[in-house]
Amino acid sequence: MVIAVLFLMFIFPQEKTGSAINENAKVKDCGQGTVLYGEESLCWQKSAKPEPATNWQDANDYCNNLELGKKDDWRLPEVNELKSLVKEVPPEQVTIDTAFFTDTQTDYYWTATEYPKTKGTHWYVYFKTGYDGISQDFKKDYEARCVRDNSLS
């Protein structure tokens, strides 16, 4: 019996990275550096900004000026949109599906969501832990990954 169980475990191994929060999310590689991901059909930039943003405004400008996949309506994601990419994994691993989202650093990523109680602060998502938080806009070396609404075609 034990041998049969071990054999079945070998044939059907369990996922070692934990269960994804978005288990039922739809994922499609759209080519040209873009990925269609999630129930909301958001189109995401596969690779983050090549170098960290110097501050929030730099990240926002980067996304607003991005031309990718023959589209130019890119923007910084809202915090809930960026959090939708987070998946549960063991400690010290990137909490995003790196098969689709390449070059993802275990780092802080800016969002477009402003923190209403303190002027000059925005939410971020930390892809080392999957947690979010707020930061002052002048903080350096946060990353940017852009998104667009796919319904805009």
Sequence ranges of the domains in the chain: 18-152
pTM (2 decimals)? 0.77
Residue 33's contacts (CB-CB under 8 Å, 6 or more residues apart) are 45, 46, 47, 68, 69
**Residue 119 token pair:** 């002027």
Poorest-confidence range of 5-19, 38-52, 59-73, 79-93?
Answer: 5-19
CATH of domain 18-152: 3.10.100.10
Residue 57 reports pLDDT greater than 80: yes
Q: Which residues contact 48 (CB under 8 A, 6 or more apart)?
A: 103, 104, 105, 109, 143, 144, 145
* pLDDT for residue 93: 66
As a whole number, mean pLDDT of residues 18-38 equals 67
* Contact by Cβ (8 Å): 142, 98: no
Residues in the chain: 153
Q: What is the pLDDT of residues 116-150, one digit of tens each?
A: 999 999 999 998 888 899 999 998 889 999 999 98
